[in-house]
Chain A
Amino acid sequence: MIDFDLIIDTVVIIIVIIGLFFFFTATIGLLRFPDFYCKLQATGKGDTLGAILILFGIVIYILKEDFSFNTILVSLKIFFIIFFIFLANPTATHALTKAGLDSGVTPFKKEDLKK
């Protein structure tokens, strides 16, 4: 006999932990990377994927608890948030990077490492 509740719970926990891992690496990158562009790259990618994975885990968990019209509406709203983050976060990173390049922030080079 297979306990479906246990399997779905395990899947949710794994997804949320992977999302938290991406948040963690993004924060480490923000603190440890040497210059503006590297930090932006770390947070832009890590935050997007981490938030999407955690929200997706929440959707699965809600639908497992109570599969009715109301929870389907709630999960639809969470999917809209995922769509919004998926579009807006990389675009904001792109805008920041371009603004930085235009205002003359110099990128980090290999020669700077030897100093």
Chain B
Amino acid sequence: MTILTNKADKIDRLAELTQSSETVTGTSLWREAFRRMRSSKMAIIGAAIIATFVLVAIVGPWLAPHGPTAQNWRSEVFPNQGKFIGMRGENWFGLDHLGRDMFSRWLVGARQTLLVGVVSMLIGLIIGALVGVLSGAAATLGGKVGQRFDTVIMRFTDIMLSLPSLLLAVSIAAVLGQSLTTVMIAVGVVQIPIFARLLRGSMLVQGGADYVLAAKAVGIRRKRIVLTQILPNSLSPVIVQATLSLATAIIEAAALSYLGLGNPDPAVPEWGVMLSQAQRFFDNEPMMAAYPAVGIIITALGFTLLGEAMREALDPKLRG
């Protein structure tokens, strides 16, 4: 018995010794990932591109020197004869076939492109994540009934995945008519099964982890196990995918607009629509297509860079 108390004393002393007076705050994995992101060149370049793009999208319409529909130089361009006006002092990007200022239209178009990208990504993310959480939770903790539910849901997403995304988008757009909303919905719906599968798969992996078993052993309710244990650990791939899919959404929206399903309103130019309009005059004035195209490419690149940097930062295997 004396030996035992001795041991207890020793442990107490050890505890006192190791206890520093200052309060130590731990570093959570999220904060650590953020710290790693800050030291990654890829992340910084990506973030810089995105920041610029967002800035342009927000203030662009006010910065635009001319209205997007103002045909101020109608008399100077003759698309039928292949006569365009390229870059010059007052029109930085030149004029389009209707004599409108390309630079102004480009600035205004950035907002539409960002809107399409973000909204359609959000449609995919929110619905997809919801389906994924339900499915994943059912599969890991729902017992036999839950597994059946999960199987049914996943077969549905499989069907959605098996349809070519552009075809699905075109058919949705065909039903809903030609507008920006159509493009957003069409692009968003295509993303749903991707997010759903990703989150479910990630939750299945985490659901088998020891700490979930431990949480069960402690007696935590199933709903809380999903919310506090499984979900926070399953989010990393979804966050990465969301960033990457902003890039795909922008490209896909541009593709749909290019195919003539975008907003026909000339007052709200969108890079995809601009690209589509420039196609006819590509022989005589290739730069008309180049401006929106380069805008799309650089923006998509920015999101891709950031997404890849996030993937690396969030990878637990690289933690050191």
A binds B: no
B residues near A, CB below 8 A?
none
